Amino acid sequence: MARRAAPEVNAGSMADIAFLLLIFFLVTTTIEVDSGIVSKLPPEVDEQTPPPPVKKKNIFQVLVNKDNQLLVEEELMELKDLTDAAVAFIDNGGGEGKSGCAYCEGERSPESSDNPKKAIVSLVNDRQATYNYYITVTNELVRAYTILRNRAATQRYGETYESMYARYKDTQEADKETPEYLE
């Protein structure tokens, strides 16, 4: 009896199919990119230009130690009190003359900030402090500015800063969607 030869599978085009599938999945897959936290970093320090003069009373110092404790203006403070302390500092309006603030509603203490435009919030973190706590402290400081912006916008325009900003963002998105030939 004659033996039949076993049929062979032609695998020559198998590599082509695998390569096409690989290209297909590479092209159609989206890779998410972490955008991180948007914040404005200070400009690079120019060694030749001296820094502008800043009064010590215009600096609001916030320190976070390795045990996640807040030291605000060299005193321990609870996280829940940070926003109110920052608002009180920024909105103090303790300056006189041109450095004063006509619209500030603060105590006008001469030991605190002269003007919101001159107020500097300095946040220093210990390397061993948790990142989560750093973000929480940053959010509390941003909330202080948001409170002041909302108050000023409501007094001047009758609506909150947040609603005006949301409307602005909507118009920016709408402008991006408009084709160039229609502009």
Integer Cα distance of 61 and 124 in angstroms: 8
Residue 175's region, left for phi above 0, alpha for psi from -120 to 50, else beta, is: alpha
User: pTM, whole model, 2 decimals?
Assistant: 0.68
**Given the structure tokens 């609506």, which residue do they identify?**
159
Partners of 62 in beta bridges: 72, 123
Instruction: Render each residue's pLDDT in the chain as its tens digit; 183 residues.
Output: 667 777 777 777 888 888 999 999 988 988 887 777 777 777 787 788 887 788 888 899 999 999 989 999 989 999 999 999 999 999 887 777 777 777 788 888 888 888 888 888 999 999 999 989 999 999 999 999 999 989 989 988 999 888 888 888 888 776 666 555 444
The pLDDT value recorded for residue 181 is: 47
